[in-house]
Amino acid sequence: MLNVISYILVGLVVGVLGRFFYPGKVEMGLLWTIVLGIAGSLLAGMVTNRGAPGLNRAGILASILGAIVLIFLGRMLNIGA
């Protein structure tokens, strides 16, 4: 149960940072921010860590970039508006 809560909190932080660094206004609710943050973290984690456990700066940066990419895709598909 604690892992699920930590994933949600990390997804929220990554999603908020992704929205902050995304150029332009992002009209998206808190739920979509969390979902895109978690998805961005998972997407970037698969690319950067290749299954290795642990937390590192490159992984956090990649998670934020992954969230930015997913925000871009979500806006193109008009998701979360």
Tell me which residue range forms the domain holding 47.
Answer: 2-76
Task: Provide the number of structural domains found in the chain.
Answer: 1
In a domain, 81, yes or no: no
Residue 56 included in any domain: yes
Closest residue by Cα to residue 45 from 30, 62, 65:
62
Give tens-digit pLDDT for 29-81: 878 877 877 787 777 766 766 656 666 677 778 778 888 888 888 778 876 55
In the chain, count H helices and then E strands.
3, 0
Helix, strand, coil shares, percent, the chain, to 5: 75, 0, 25
The C-alpha atoms of residue 59 and residue 56 are separated, in whole angstroms, by 5
